Amino acid sequence: MNTSTPSPLLNADLHCHSVVSDGTRTPEALAERAHANGVELWSLTDHDEVGGQDRAIAAARALGLPYLTGAEVSVTFAGQTVHIVGLGFDHHNPALVQGLRQTRGGREARARDMADGLAQVGIPGAYEGALQYVGNPELISRTHFARFLVDSGVCKDTNEVFRKYLTEGKPGYVPHRWAALGDTVRWITQAGGVAVIAHPGRYPFNATEEFALFSEFKAHGGQGVEVVTGAHHQADVVKYTGFCAEFDLQASRGSDFHSPTESHTDLGRLPDLPGSVTPIWTALSERVHT
Ligand code: AMP
Ligand code: MN
Ligand code: MN
Ligand code: MN
């Protein structure tokens, strides 16, 4: 990457998932797909886990693809789950590694409770079923349950599974307490990285709660927000471009790619960032693996 003039138009894709969390492709296959799709700066951001980083760094390097370390951390804020993407950190930093380990820790018990809830509505064996799709047992997620429920014919697609079974108030939903916002931002920034609010357009917050999220994130030292992401419509892009100015945040861009059959946005196939924002990679040129 030309580090002297970081362009907002760079084809950066700084959000995706591998088999190390709930994606269906290996870090190596994702590196190849990103490269083939014209990505110029890439990051693998598995949920609550940095176990794929060394593989992603090596695969990207072999392709000449500039790379930033990444992770997407699950946070509980105002009673809801919020995702914070960390970029450009030292993935061996002990406090970060320990914080992520602690964040993943409750997933197995949660998954067993989810399966109990599903059994009560006549869907037995969902824990064992979901496990068949899991690459990393510490990272069992709702996505793995969704794959099991689609492949076993209970639902026609993952959207239907989430709508009927895995969202608040539904039989397979189990409330869970994830990491705290301030801890998460500190783990990332003290490991030399930057923290970014992931897909803000997806949270069920009212304006007051959303203002609190952005204000507190900023007060803790958060630096960025995803303006362009697979889940955003044009109205979201406009809205969060405004938030960049209001909260003095830099803009990130990432597909949130999980799988060719489940994700509607492929790696690197995203609209450009608006010209008026400062791209998050401006702050990260020293952190790029080449
Ligand atoms: P978990 O971390 O176990 O709560 O699972 C969250 C993951 O489920 C997200 O990262 C997405 O990959 C996936 N997900 C959440 N909501 C939906 C949805 N409505 N449709 C499809 N996948 C979803
Ligand atoms: Mn996911
Ligand atoms: Mn997310
Ligand atoms: Mn994601």
Q: Give the β-pairing of 41-42 and 224-229.
A: unpaired
| Same domain assignment for residues 263 and 186 | yes
pLDDT tens digits along 174-202: 999 999 999 999 999 999 999 999 999 99
End-to-end CA distance of the chain: 8
pLDDT tens digits along 31-77: 999 999 999 999 999 999 999 999 999 999 999 999 999 999 999 99
**Measured between alpha carbons, how far is 126 from 117 in angstroms, rounded to an integer?**
10
| Same domain assignment for residues 94 and 117 | no
Instruction: Check whether 117 has a pLDDT greater than 80.
Output: yes
| Same domain assignment for residues 73 and 209 | yes
Positive/negative CA dihedral, 223, 228, 233, 238: positive
pLDDT tens digits along 226-242: 999 999 999 999 999 99
Q: Which of 166, 195, 210 is the last residue of a domain?
A: 166
User: Ligand 2 centroid vs 21 CA: distance in angstroms?
Assistant: 7
Decide whether any atom of ligand 1 lies within 6 Å of the 258 Cβ: yes
DSSP state, residue 139: G
Of 158, 177, 133, 98, which Cα lies nearest the Cα of 21?
Answer: 133
CATH number at residue 213: 3.20.20.140
User: Ligand 3 centroid vs 83 CA: distance in angstroms?
Assistant: 5
Residue 71 three-state SS: strand
223 falls within a domain:
yes
| Same domain assignment for residues 43 and 144 | no
User: Ligand 3 centroid vs 119 CA: distance in angstroms?
Assistant: 27
| Same domain assignment for residues 266 and 128 | no
Indicate the top mutation candidate among 16, 18, 22 to test ligand 1's pocket, ranked by most ligand atoms within 8 A of CB: 22
Contact status, residue 34 vs residue 65, Cβ threshold 8 Å: yes
| Same domain assignment for residues 185 and 217 | yes
1 falls within a domain:
no
Domain count for the chain: 2
Residue 135 three-state SS: coil
When pLDDT is cut at 50, 70 and 90, the band that residue 5 belongs to is low
What is the domain extent for residue 280? 12-103+178-287
172 falls within a domain:
no
Decide whether any atom of ligand 1 lies within 6 Å of the 265 Cβ: no
CATH number at residue 158: 1.10.150.650
**Measured between alpha carbons, how far is 163 from 130 in angstroms, rounded to an integer?**
18
The residue whose CA is least distant from atom 2 of ligand 1 is 141
251 falls within a domain:
yes
Percent of the chain topping pLDDT 90 = 97
The residue whose CA is least distant from atom 5 of ligand 1 is 142
Range 85-90 average pLDDT: 98
When pLDDT is cut at 50, 70 and 90, the band that residue 3 belongs to is very low
pLDDT tens digits along 242-264: 999 999 999 999 999 999 999 99
| Same domain assignment for residues 96 and 118 | no
Residue 282 has a CB neighbour count (10 Å cut-off) of: 15
Residue 60 three-state SS: helix
| Same domain assignment for residues 78 and 203 | yes
Q: Give the β-pairing of 224-229 and 12-13.
A: unpaired
The number of the ligand 1 atom at minimal distance from the alpha carbon of 142 is: 3
The residue whose CA is least distant from atom 12 of ligand 1 is 143
